[in-house]
Structure 1
Amino acid sequence: MVSVPDDTTSAELRPVRTRRKFPTIRAIAALMLREMSTTYGRSPGGYLWAVLEPAAGIAVLSLIFSIGFRNPPMGTNFPIFYATGLVPFMFFTDISNKLSQSINFSRQLLAYPSVTYIDALLGRFILNALTQLLVGYIVLLGILLAFETRTTLEVVRVIMAYAMSASLALGIGVMNALLISMFPVWQQVWGIVTRPLFLISGIIFTYESIPDPYQSYLWYNPLMHVTGEMRAAFYVSYEADYVSPMYVFGLSLILLVLGLVFLRRYHRDIINY
């Protein structure tokens, strides 16, 4: 005679499904704390120095460029022009670089079943995104308070610029995490290929100032769209018609999906390599 489970047994089994999400949250939080202690805990001032160091670096570069270029391509104040291009660029480069090393950084912990590659990726993404948001806030607010920039801030466009930069960093970072874990030489190749990004991403010039046919080539650089959106958020008269959020989000989504699909297929081989 087949026994039918009673209501008590079924009720005991139901909560098991709802508890699965909590180990993931705890794992992500633990990975974030681990990175803060191992990466930022070694330097004087800890995490505070990790925020102030890039903020000070951007401020110094803005000052140097403002001396050499007294008349910016847009507006009347060079520090704000330069910072509106550099801040989202640094946001992208820092997060994507940290994400690309997330698998190798947490390789030993990934051997435990309670920690997954998704946890490692999300932990690094959240921590470094929050760090870079704080850096950008300090830099931009400091410039706005120190200078008469004659700019008008549109918060919605700032959020859009950061969202574009974050999605691009996530897509490229996840794909590079896969490629670097499987082919370590890719890290050197990627560093060489992306070295000119600083010069071709609209940090010290505007998209409209580039003549054809080079202007059409630069359109395919997604970071041009990010810096253009950020500049449009501060300069009301700058429309930035060339900016296409759908292009940036679409490219980011494709890279993210491909990276996650192959990581799901090969993450065990990568961990055991």
Structure 2
Amino acid sequence: MDSAPLPEVHSAPRNSLSVTFAVWNALFLREAVARLSATRGAWVLIVLEPVLHVSYMLFIYTAIRAKSVAGADVALWLVLGMTGYFTVQHIFRRAMGAIDANKALFAYRQVRPIDTVIVRAALEALLGILVLLALLIVLAFLDRNITPSEPMETISAFFGLILSAFGIGLILSVVSDFAPEVGNLVSLLFRPLFILSGVIFPLSSIPVKYREWAFYNPFAHGLELLRSSFFPIYHAAPEANFRYLYGFALVTIFLGLALQVRFAQKLRSK
């Protein structure tokens, strides 16, 4: 007796959104493995970088017998500034090189250049959050108060920093792909931001007539707002505000997306 024929199985077609999430998931896992295993102990260096900078600056502040900065605990003040700045720096630098580093993947039509930028930025943002949490836990064990006075402002400030860095990364990923020299120029231009963002000194100490120039930098707004959200008596610079931080983020993200759409085909075939 002949066996009955097997019923035909029709796989339901996936919509574009599910395909996009599948691509992001695969790219995220690929980037995470590459980032954490690029060199021996690469994951240690991710944490060690801000730790060494914080330790160095804490030693200097201890040597001059400073236990607080503008009304804030110096150790926590430095941790917030360092981790916030390095998260920003890693996001836009890694996003800037995302398209060039993943050219081979564009042979798959599901993978678009913008996907690689989004995934790299998301990975660096996640690593930055994890490093910040790890350092805060260490400070808690050292009997430091790590509870923010305004938790929602803390989240908003850090998220604003991430979005601003992502917007810059979107733009630079396109520009640097057409002109590789831009990458070296950007690294040179962004180096002074370590000082101008108030990472190692309070921006409120700058004379008023010069301070407004420092606050053209969105990261100065983000770091100042992040710190003020932790300390109720922190003497923050009055120029820091969320409107500028998120306005800069929205403008740069819009311009970055416009460039990605406009040059999508050229980025694939270049």
Q: TM-score, length-normalised on structure 1? A: 0.85
The AA in structure 2 aligned to 1:70 is: R
Written as runs of structure 1 = structure 2, the 5 A alignment for 1:20-39 is 20-39=16-35
Of 23, 26, 47, the residue aligned with 1:52 is 47
Counterpart check, 1:63 vs 2:63: no
In 2, Cα distance between equivalents of 1:157 and 1:192 = 32
Distance 1:132 1:150, change over 3 A: closer
> Where do 5+ consecutive residues of structure 2 fail to align?
1-9
Counterpart check, 1:41 vs 2:37: yes
RMSD over equivalenced CA pairs, Å:
2.4
In 2, Cα distance between equivalents of 1:206 and 1:50 = 27
What is the match of residue 255 of structure 1? 252
User: Once structures 1 and 2 are overlaid, which stretch shifts more, 138-147 or 127-136?
Assistant: 138-147
| Aligned-pair CA distance for 1:147 | 4.3
> Where do 5+ consecutive residues of structure 1 fail to align?
1-11
The AA in structure 2 aligned to 1:229 is: L
The AA in structure 1 aligned to 2:56 is: L
| Aligned-pair CA distance for 1:153 | 3.7
Instruction: Give the conservation status (yes or no) of the 8 Å contact 2:80–2:132.
Output: no
What is the match of residue 184 of structure 2? 188
User: Once structures 1 and 2 are overlaid, which stretch shifts more, 168-177 or 201-210?
Assistant: 201-210
Written as runs of structure 1 = structure 2, the 5 A alignment for 1:103-252 is 103-148=99-144, 152-238=148-234, 240=236, 241-252=238-249
User: Once structures 1 and 2 are overlaid, which stretch shifts more, 49-58 or 122-131?
Assistant: 49-58
Distance 1:67 1:261, change over 3 A: same
Distance 1:105 1:192, change over 3 A: same
| Aligned-pair CA distance for 1:36 | 2.1
| Aligned-pair CA distance for 1:73 | 2.7
SS at match of 1:238: coil
Instruction: Give the conservation status (yes or no) of the 8 Å contact 1:161–1:227.
Output: yes
SS at match of 1:125: helix
Distance 1:150 1:177, change over 3 A: closer
Alignment length, in residue pairs? Answer: 259
Instruction: Give the conservation status (yes or no) of the 8 Å contact 1:110–1:117.
Output: yes
In 1, Cα distance between equivalents of 2:186 and 2:47 = 28
What is the match of residue 264 of structure 2? 267
In 2, Cα distance between equivalents of 1:272 and 1:217 = 41
What is the match of residue 77 of structure 1? 73
The AA in structure 1 aligned to 2:113 is: Y
User: Once structures 1 and 2 are overlaid, which stretch shifts more, 115-124 or 175-184?
Assistant: 115-124
The AA in structure 1 aligned to 2:65 is: R
Q: TM-score, length-normalised on structure 2? A: 0.86
Instruction: Give the conservation status (yes or no) of the 8 Å contact 1:58–1:83.
Output: no
| Aligned-pair CA distance for 1:50 | 5.3
